[in-house]
Structure 1
């Protein structure tokens, strides 16, 4: 019954979604309410031994509330928001902020400088649309690719790209940054995001060598993993259902495993399911199986990605796999056909052209709309590094690995 150990299932984030307007006199009350709400709910979870790792605040599109007449006025507004977050946040709990989506060429061009100045308090995304012929918005994709390159040049080691992503077929209420965005037509709400790789590994280790056939292995592990996840989701729901708050509406849970460098690797999960390593033959079958597990959660709406995340430089095992040449960008993209999240935190050659970045974005976007699933692209061009060179990230969130090449 070790799967009931609450240390195996962490709450990666309590993410609130709220709307701001041009009336700056209302900002303090809204941000204060969000911070106090997250702090109070975090305490409730901590009281039943569930660790909350971060709280996050997501807004509607920043054009609707920031003064974007110039980069200087936008920075001034963000400085004020930053001061409010610092004023009302819990010093023992990491807080992150997303300014919503950029919708125009001019807004996308602003993002590199805003991110360079405010980093984790300036997460942003762009939602790419398609036309009636299923043709993606090529012009906006090229603008996004240029932003990725610009961020890589003006932030140390290109780490600012941690705060920017391009979304394809992504709906509101994604709790994980920087794909999160809110719409002012929606209620102020909140979502819970989990971190469960330690739980997955514990269950699979308990079941190792237990099944004789391929079919029994997948069936038995599916039942065991689903049971373990459901146990913790039900515990979390007990707190949510007893938590009275009129400011934010609970809209669901993102059941994604959400790996980090401080927990078990998703690569270990693949190995425990019988593969030599992630990227070996059979990886797509395992990816599909794991996605089915994450979609099996009952009693609660599933929002966001609610699927398999393969975040290359947030996962020590996947980072090691780049050094061993276990997989490449195409491998990640192929697995995204049966899971998610797309191409997430992938280090690429520093001199990769804007056109190549745009092309891999279009491949990802085409899959997202054709298969009707949410996929994102978050690439990290690393200045002056080539394929197989090793990165030297300094962010506490990022693992060092070998640079991959967009072919």
Structure 2
């Protein structure tokens, strides 16, 4: 099982001094090295800050300085946190330069939160966020910049996975796993299982066996580096052929999206949330269409669609993730999708996000061509 991310959360408010970033980067690298020495594949180390919006006078200039430090420190991931746009007093004009900032600064990620239980979903924020999605698609090659931007609802601090990660409070570090393969192996032994309790039991046992040594080492290293360990996000992140879609196909003995998919998704989520370790973040089922070969195949064949994925989110994971859209999708339609996600998150009081990819120049029947090692190219359903 690989460690997808070791995420160090910074306590400092913006503007963060370069020396503070360098020290955090040094800690992240030390943690990565120690996990690697213990035999784990560490894919990335990352930094997450407090929300930047409203804290610096010139966000573009500040972002360029942060990008320079990240390049010097050899860290490709720095989250600037969300604009808390669900708040009625949040000035939506602050989002006007986000697309250009992310297009220029490839190490940076940020988000916009458009719905919370305190304020409800904010429609004008959804429209503003939808504009960022469209502008970022146009400003980056083949629209790939939306990999580093998401629209959140009910998402609190402490998530290790990007781009949703942001931080509040004292500095800590957290972990996110690439454990989809562990879940798939566990469920390959009970093909076609209908009883959710049996699915939960198998997955919980497999993840407990794998996660406990990771957590014990993290707790030990917390003392070594002088930074508290916040916990582990057990969301079974997939990557390509390391597929959570395949895990569910084992459970239902059929293609992803067939009857039984929602039942299996709920049972796996129950397992994730019952493993007895220090947990943070979503601890839910990630279904990123273009990060998982099985999900990508189901999407382009029409076996699943956006509405099914949103329905699955009601019982499991993280919302709509890496969902491709025709490049000419109107801003108003993107905003409606975002409001659907926000409505579900607020109604259920659960964290959900949306990472949508309008593909410039592509329409129904066209195939994406991102050329990215992190994305599986798909044909848009016609």
Asked whether the two chains share a fold, i.e. TM above 0.5, the reply is yes
Correspondence list, 1:33-44, <5 A: 33-44=23-34
Secondary structure of the residue aligned to 1:387 is: coil
User: Aligned residue for 1:4?
Assistant: none
Correspondence list, 1:70-219, <5 A: 74-89=59-74, 95-103=76-84, 104-119=91-106, 121-130=107-116, 135-183=120-168, 186-205=169-188, 207-208=189-190, 214-215=194-195, 218-219=196-197
Retained in 2: the 8 A contact 1:125–1:181?
no
Retained in 1: the 8 A contact 2:181–2:244?
no
C-alpha distance in 1, partners of 2:370/2:289?
13
Retained in 2: the 8 A contact 1:275–1:282?
no
Cα offset, 1:61, TM superposition: 1.8
From 249, 274, 288, give the equivalent of 1:311: 288
User: Aligned residue for 2:262?
Assistant: 284
- Listed one character per residue, the Cα deviations across residues 133-172 of structure 1 (whole Å, up to 9, x for unaligned) are x742111111001111111111111111111111100110
Cα offset, 1:248, TM superposition: 2.9
Bigger CA drift: 53-62 or 263-272? 263-272
Secondary structure of the residue aligned to 2:281 is: coil
- Verify: 1:61 aligned to 2:25, yes or no: no
- Verify: 1:367 aligned to 2:344, yes or no: yes
User: Aligned residue for 2:369?
Assistant: 392
Distance change in 2, residues 1:247/1:126 (3 Å): farther
- Listed one character per residue, the Cα deviations across residues 284-329 of structure 1 (whole Å, up to 9, x for unaligned) are 11111111111121031x2211010000111111111122211111
User: Aligned residue for 2:8?
Assistant: 16
Secondary structure of the residue aligned to 1:357 is: helix
- Verify: 1:269 aligned to 2:247, yes or no: yes
C-alpha distance in 2, partners of 1:346/1:153?
16
Cα offset, 1:404, TM superposition: 5.2
User: Aligned residue for 1:320?
Assistant: 297
C-alpha distance in 2, partners of 1:22/1:342?
29
Cα offset, 1:118, TM superposition: 1.0
- Listed one character per residue, the Cα deviations across residues 41-93 of structure 1 (whole Å, up to 9, x for unaligned) are 1122112211111011111122355442xxxxx3332232222223233xxxx
C-alpha distance in 2, partners of 1:278/1:38?
37
User: Aligned residue for 1:46?
Assistant: 36
Cα offset, 1:98, TM superposition: 1.0
Distance change in 2, residues 1:325/1:189 (3 Å): same
User: Aligned residue for 2:87?
Assistant: none
Retained in 1: the 8 A contact 2:194–2:260?
no
Correspondence list, 1:328-343, <5 A: 328-343=305-320
Retained in 1: the 8 A contact 2:102–2:148?
yes
TM-score by length of 2: 0.92
Secondary structure of the residue aligned to 2:357 is: strand
Distance change in 2, residues 1:387/1:235 (3 Å): same
TM-score by length of 1: 0.87
User: Aligned residue for 2:88?
Assistant: none
C-alpha distance in 2, partners of 1:130/1:21?
23
Q: Which runs of 5 or more structure 2 residues have no equivalent in the other structure?
A: 85-90
Pairs aligned (count): 375
Distance change in 2, residues 1:54/1:158 (3 Å): same
C-alpha distance in 1, partners of 2:186/2:265?
17
C-alpha distance in 1, partners of 2:24/2:301?
44
Cα offset, 1:246, TM superposition: 6.3
Q: CA RMSD in A?
A: 2.0
